[in-house]
Amino acid sequence: MGRLKYLNRKLKLRTQFLLFFILSAFLAAFLSIILLLIFIFLFHDLKQVNEIKDYVKFNAENALDQNYEKNLKSIVPDDFDYWLFTTDDNIPYGSTPKTMPSEVSHIIQNRPTKEVNIVTDENYIISYIPLHNKNIDGGFILKYKNTLFLNSNFINSVINKTSYRAFFNLFIFFPILILCPFIIVFIFSLLFAKGINKPLKELISASEKIKQGRLDFSINVSYNNEIGQVLSSFENMRKTLQDSLKKQWTMEEQRKDMIHSLTHNIKTPITIINGHLELINGYEQNLTNKQKKESMDTIVHNADRIRIMINQLNEIWDLERSNFSLYTQDMSLDKFTRKINDNFLQICSRKNITFKIIASFQKEDTFCFDPIRMNEVLENIISNSIKFTKSGEIKFEIKKEEAGLFLKVSDTGNGFNEKELEYIFNKNYKGDKGVKSTNSSGLGLYICDLIVGKHNGTIKAFNNNTGGASIEIFLPPSLQNKTKIQSN
């Protein structure tokens, strides 16, 4: 059974079928031959007895000929006794004519008209065959050892009505030739079906579990055939579905956290807006134009903070979608760099910060990326550097190499502490000291990480030699020569 189990798991179904067919044919032939030999051996004595009786019946007219006696003697085994007697109780010949058993004398006296079989006390059978024709009027008596099947009424009845050959063919030969292959094929079919039925039951069970929403199970994929391919595909589907549901559950939890965090962050600007609106609309307050303008500026500023937070939340939901698309193009690196310079040179100058760009590429060089999204990334990073650099320098480095495009923003601010470096790209992280909490949702660098990831790139943060912060981005050339990619 262990070998059959191995075959069911390792061989292809077609090979299994051919192998089972060959094995069943071989075993059926082998078993049929063995059974026929056994039954031939078991019915050997019965065959001999009926051959003798047939010879006697069909050659009764020549019963007194010497050739008849000679032939009869040749076909009667040595352990058989026989006698031929005539009407006057004369015994022309026999195996032991002078030592005839008393049962034989009794049969001769009664002269039955039909064949008679008598079992003696010594477990012998005495068969009497009446002989009546123009040459002889008497009978033939045969004495032989009673063995299996010799004294069966049913067998003897069938043989008397037909013949020994007809009986053997009808009840032994043909049943063996028909039943043996049928039984062997039936057994092998069950074994073959079992090898298929077991994994099918496992698939049905797995389907029911998935239908019930259960994915915490595994499927046996040890089958190295077509069934194994189906099981493996089903198991991969289960794992993918499980991972997808886990990811979906994680994203739902993260969205809940984001909404909760956004709700908490929005409370402050809404409270400020409400306070200033009440101040402006107060009937008992006599506000100067300057005070009203300051209140309106505060309202506009906090409303803008709310707009930015909501926009960031919508952007994250968009970026986290599996079917989110980047709109990439072969962008001129010189043009892209000049735009970054135009955006931040004046802002840094007003804050007494030196903004420096170090470019390592040819003027005509291009690189394939989404310029709008990457501009958003750099604006976010450089804006953070401006926010936390009171004075000094902010340096933007851009370098094109064969390996890809390297972007780096460094400042001379206070840099990151160890915890910030570990969680800085997480959602809603605002730093240990809470410096960002009043003006930031904590989603900016998380958005940067998502956008760079959609480009199949990497982003990392570290402290530079001056003690300030550095953020480095690498974009691989995998998006080159594409106008649009579909993110996975």
Query: If you compute the radius of gyration of the chain from its CA atoms, what whole number of angstroms results?
Result: 53
In a domain, 276, yes or no: yes
The dihedrals phi and psi of 68, each to the nearest 5 degrees, come to -65, -45
User: H or E stretch including 83?
Assistant: strand 81-85
In a domain, 6, yes or no: no
Q: What is the pLDDT of residue 381?
A: 93
265 and 311 both lie in a single domain: yes
In a domain, 116, yes or no: yes
In a domain, 68, yes or no: yes
358 and 294 both lie in a single domain: no
CATH number of the structural domain spanning residue 74: 3.30.450.20
Contacts of 378 (CB under 8 A, 6+ apart): 340, 396, 407, 409
Rounded CA-CA distance 436/229 in Å is 54
Q: What is the pLDDT of residue 434?
A: 41
The domain total for the chain is 3
Rounded CA-CA distance 171/169 in Å is 6
Q: Count other Cβ atoms within 10 Å, centred on residue 346.
A: 11
In a domain, 403, yes or no: yes
The distance in angstroms from the start CA to the end CA of the chain is 47
310 and 329 both lie in a single domain: no
Q: What Å distances lie between residue 196 and 20, 81, 199, 260, 475, CA to CA? A: 13, 62, 6, 53, 50
399 and 417 both lie in a single domain: yes
The dihedrals phi and psi of 356, each to the nearest 5 degrees, come to -125, 135
Strand partners, 474: 406, 458
Q: Which residue from 7, 52, 18, 9 is spatially nearest to 159, judged by alpha carbons?
A: 52
Amino acid at 277: L
In whole angstroms, what separates CA 207 from the centre of its chain?
12
Q: What is the pLDDT of residue 398?
A: 95
Q: What is the pLDDT of residue 459?
A: 94
Q: What is the pLDDT of residue 284?
A: 52
Q: What is the pLDDT of residue 478?
A: 66
Q: What is the pLDDT of residue 254?
A: 66
Q: Which residue from 184, 221, 230, 200 is spatially nearest to 31, judged by alpha carbons?
A: 184
330 and 304 both lie in a single domain: no
Greatest Cα-to-Cα distance within the chain, rounded to the nearest angstrom = 166
Contacts of 406 (CB under 8 A, 6+ apart): 397, 398, 399, 400, 472, 473, 474
In a domain, 154, yes or no: no
Name the DSSP class of 243: H
230 and 349 both lie in a single domain: no
Q: Which residue from 57, 235, 37 is spatially nearest to 129, judged by alpha carbons?
A: 57
In a domain, 21, yes or no: no
Rounded CA-CA distance 235/231 in Å is 6
Q: What is the pLDDT along the chain (488 residues), one digit of tens a residue?
A: 555 565 666 667 777 778 878 888 899 999 999 999 999 999 999 999 999 999 998 888 888 888 888 888 889 998 898 988 887 767 888 887 666 777 777 777 777 788 888 888 788 998 888 888 777 788 898 999 998 788 888 888 888 888 889 999 999 999 998 998 889 888 888 877 777 777 788 888 888 887 787 777 777 777 766 777 787 888 888 888 888 777 777 767 766 766 766 676 677 778 888 887 877 777 556 777 887 788 888 888 888 878 877 777 777 767 777 667 888 899 999 999 999 998 898 889 888 999 999 999 999 999 999 998 899 899 889 988 998 888 899 999 999 999 999 999 999 988 888 878 888 887 655 555 444 444 445 678 888 998 999 899 999 999 998 889 999 999 998 654 444 444 33
- Residue ending a domain, choose from 299, 319, 339: 319
Per DSSP bridges, beta strands 458-463 and 485-486 are: unpaired
Q: What is the pLDDT of residue 2?
A: 53
Rounded CA-CA distance 118/134 in Å is 28
* SS3 state at 118: strand
Q: Where are the alpha helices (DSSP H) in 43-173?
A: 44-58, 66-75, 102-110, 153-161, 164-168
User: H or E stretch including 303?
Assistant: helix 289-319
Burial 191-202 (b: 16+ CB within 10 A, else e): bbeebeebbeeb
Structure tokens given for 278: 């009440």
Q: Count other Cβ atoms within 10 Å, centred on residue 429.
A: 18
CATH number of the structural domain spanning residue 286: 1.10.287.130
387 and 458 both lie in a single domain: yes
352 and 458 both lie in a single domain: yes
363 and 447 both lie in a single domain: yes
User: H or E stretch including 458?
Assistant: strand 458-463
Is the dihedral angle over the CA atoms 349, 355, 356, 359 positive or is it negative?
Answer: negative
The dihedrals phi and psi of 400, each to the nearest 5 degrees, come to -105, 125
- Residue ending a domain, choose from 298, 319, 340: 319
In a domain, 421, yes or no: yes
CATH number of the structural domain spanning residue 459: 3.30.565.10
Q: Which residue has the tokens 């006697």?
A: 56
Rounded CA-CA distance 237/33 in Å is 52
In whole angstroms, what separates CA 135 from the centre of its chain?
86
Domain housing 62: 44-148
Strand partners, 63: none
329 and 312 both lie in a single domain: no
Name the DSSP class of 328: -
Q: What is the pLDDT of residue 299?
A: 86
Rounded CA-CA distance 117/54 in Å is 15
315 and 336 both lie in a single domain: no
Rounded CA-CA distance 56/72 in Å is 8
228 and 9 in contact (C-beta within 8 Å)?
A: yes
- Residue ending a domain, choose from 148, 165, 197: 148
Q: What angle, rounded to 10 degrees, do the helices at 226-281 and 174-211 form?
A: 10
332 and 305 both lie in a single domain: no
Strand partners, 407: 398, 473
